[in-house]
Structure 1
Amino acid sequence: MFGIGAEIGIDLGTASVLVYIKGKGIVLREPSVVAIDKNTDRVLAVGNEARKMLGRTPGNIIAIRPLKDGVISDYDVTERMLRYFINKTCGKRRLFKPKIIVCVPSGVTEVEKRAVLDATTEAGGGKTFLIEEPIAAAIGAGLDITKPDGNMVIDIGGGTADIAVISLDGIVVSNSIKVAGDKFDESIIRYMRKRHNLLIGERTAEELKINIGTAYPRTKMVKMDCRGRDLITGLPKNISISSDEMLEALSESVNSICDAVHAVLEKTPPELASDISSRGIVMTGGGSLLFGLNKQLEKRTGIPTYIADDAVSCVAKGTGMSLEYLHILEKNMMTTSSRKRYL
């Protein structure tokens, strides 16, 4: 393990947690889920093992996702989850507390930032820094954000979609909306209930989204079998769903993201807007992999839109890479030491 003087970057996502160790790269990628025994308050499983329990637990066990819409919704469970991941990557027996940098959505409040800092410190972290997700995503996608040029990044994770125009190491214009992967799943669940009187779970909705989810009309329609509970008979039922239906189910959420991108472009200074028009828009995060989302954005904005290589890992990579430049970024980032001034 990496116990002595470790420096780690954490992408604390609504759907999953990625941990980057300086000099090693991404060493952990697990779902942000914790299973707890309600009777004893004991943590039974974290990450992959806990995710398998979602929607399948007996009465005394609850599987919790402690982050909602990109921020901490259950402080105690988040702290225990972080402690588990830090111990797993750095070892329980550490001579020094690791220096940690955690990324947060661009729209979080000071109170939400303090919650992340406190939870990370309580979980066993040393000096802790925060970095905004669009900055981390841009670094991880290989963009040079140090120059006076406009770069537009759209990071669509599990809880939030962060849209930002970046220049000279900072965010010029940004917007963060709570429409992302989880909302896509909710839209699919709602559509199946309304259109087919079929109740499906989160995992089934996610499988539909990944396999046949569509934001832009496909040239060839694809289908997938879907199982759930018939709301009329109360019995299990199996039906075939097409990508055209997914296009309809996801249209509202996709339009919300397109509207947010349009709003950011409207506020962008003309010189930077010109740069973005020629350079294009870069998309990161798992939500950006929804089929045709980049094409839909391109159609709405008229600007070339690209999906970054290894889009899911961009934020974690950027968070880890920024460990090399803490002396520069420290001026702009909230840390455990600066946090004390707010208390």
Structure 2
Amino acid sequence: MFLDRIIGLFSNDIGIDLGTANTLVFVKGKGILLSEPSIVSVDTRTGKVIAVGSESKKMIGKTPKEIEVIRPLKDGVIADFDVTQEMLKYFIKKVHSNMSFSKILRPRPRVIIGVPSGITTVEKRAVIDAARQSGAREVFLIAEPMAAALGAGLPIQSPGGNMIVDIGGGTSEIAVISLSGLVLSESIKVAGDEMTEAIIQYMKRHHNLLIGEQSAERIKMELGSAYPSERDKKTMVVPGRDLRGLPGSVEIKGEEIRHALENVIQSIVNAVRLALEKTPPELSADIVERGIVLAGGGSLLHAMDIRLREETNLPVYYCEDPLTAVAEGIGKALDDIDLIRKISLQ
């Protein structure tokens, strides 16, 4: 018993925001200790992982043919089980290597993972198995919008209605939460990655220019907008490769990129509207008063809050840090095992 209490002092339970674009790891009592791209580089000749996370992202578009850069998650769920397992092992080991207490006293961690609310039973099992194979002693899954609401500081245990819109890399999650439960949720596979792909395709179709993912990301951040604004007039010179395979560049305007993103943005808006239409009248009154809270990296597209405000006629607010809301929410759950059991998807 005495040893159990001593080990408890060094609890290394962790929460993982296992995102399509980025993975964040929250360690109980220490906060977010890791935030890296969900990317793995593999030597196809040997099957050996040669880089993970930030180091792997640097290799995108620059590797020889025998090195494959893999995104093991697609649309918020595991697409490549073995690579996801290796990635989780690496991130968990990296977090533990930064912690000062003795390995002798370190118990296997309890792990909480944020997953899309629309995850299937098979997909749940894949996430749980990957976490256990990576060293977890116990695994809980929490719906990402629930975790985001917790991280945003919303009163999820109250009887009032709270609406959260979490736009990530692979999925957009819209949920109404009351009494620690998801009253309703909409999960669509349209989010930040689709925005990036829309820009790549636009440049190819309208400018005959082939650009990479990282170039498209930069365009999205500098020129992208969900609503007409001063960005429409802003210009940017984009380098790439023309359809003949030769280096080239074109100048583009913000207005072009706003139009390129329109179908993706409208899909997210439609999902929010659908969720509002399904919301029970009693909770709708709460949402009219409290508004909609935005979270997730995709929500940081310029003027996304204005677009949703115009489309719904409701107040729309950003949480304090949209990029870390899910991880922070999982971190809060780590401190309350009763809450974990109440809101987990198992």
Q: Deviations over 1:261-319 (max 9, x none)?
A: 00000000011111101111000000000001111111111001111111100000001
Helix, strand or coil for the counterpart of 2:284?
Answer: helix
In structure 1, which of residues 35, 60, 70 is the aligned counterpart of residue 66 of structure 2?
Answer: 60
TM-score normalised over the length of structure 2: 0.94
| 1:313 and 2:319 matched | no
Residue 237 (structure 2) aligns with: 225
In structure 2, which of residues 32, 36, 47 is the aligned counterpart of residue 41 of structure 1?
Answer: 47
What are the equivalent positions in structure 2 for 1:116-265 lying under 5 Å apart?
116-220=127-231, 221-231=233-243, 233-265=244-276
Q: Please tell me whether the aligned partners of residues 180 and 343 of structure 2 are also in contact (alpha carbons under 8 angstroms).
A: no
Helix, strand or coil for the counterpart of 2:230?
Answer: coil
CA distance in 2, matches of 1:82, 1:225: 38
Q: Please tell me whether the aligned partners of residues 137 and 314 of structure 1 are also in contact (alpha carbons under 8 angstroms).
A: yes
Helix, strand or coil for the counterpart of 1:258?
Answer: helix
Q: Please tell me whether the aligned partners of residues 3 and 90 of structure 1 are also in contact (alpha carbons under 8 angstroms).
A: no
Helix, strand or coil for the counterpart of 2:257?
Answer: helix
CA distance in 2, matches of 1:6, 1:294: 37
**Structure 2 unmatched runs, 5+:** 1-7
Residue 119 (structure 2) aligns with: 108
Helix, strand or coil for the counterpart of 1:211?
Answer: helix
Runs of 4+ in 1 over 6 A off after TM superposition: none
Structure 1 position 327, deviation (Å): 1.5
Helix, strand or coil for the counterpart of 2:94?
Answer: helix
Q: Please tell me whether the aligned partners of residues 9 and 19 of structure 1 are also in contact (alpha carbons under 8 angstroms).
A: yes
Q: Please tell me whether the aligned partners of residues 5 and 97 of structure 1 are also in contact (alpha carbons under 8 angstroms).
A: no
Q: Deviations over 1:199-256 (max 9, x none)?
A: 111111111111111110113521222111111x321111111110111000000000
CA distance in 1, matches of 2:29, 2:49: 31
What CA RMSD, in Å, does the superposition of the two structures yield over aligned residues?
Answer: 1.5
Give, as a single letter, the amino acid of the residue that structure 2 aligns with 1:103. Answer: G
In structure 1, which of residues 73, 88, 92 is the aligned counterpart of residue 79 of structure 2?
Answer: 73
CA distance in 1, matches of 2:134, 2:15: 14
Structure 1 position 87, deviation (Å): 0.5
CA distance in 1, matches of 2:237, 2:137: 48
TM-score normalised over the length of structure 1: 0.94
Q: Deviations over 1:13-68 (max 9, x none)?
A: 00000000111110000000001111111111100000011121101111100000
Give, as a single letter, the amino acid of the residue that structure 2 aligns with 1:119. Answer: A
CA distance in 1, matches of 2:161, 2:247: 52
Q: Please tell me whether the aligned partners of residues 282 and 307 of structure 1 are also in contact (alpha carbons under 8 angstroms).
A: yes
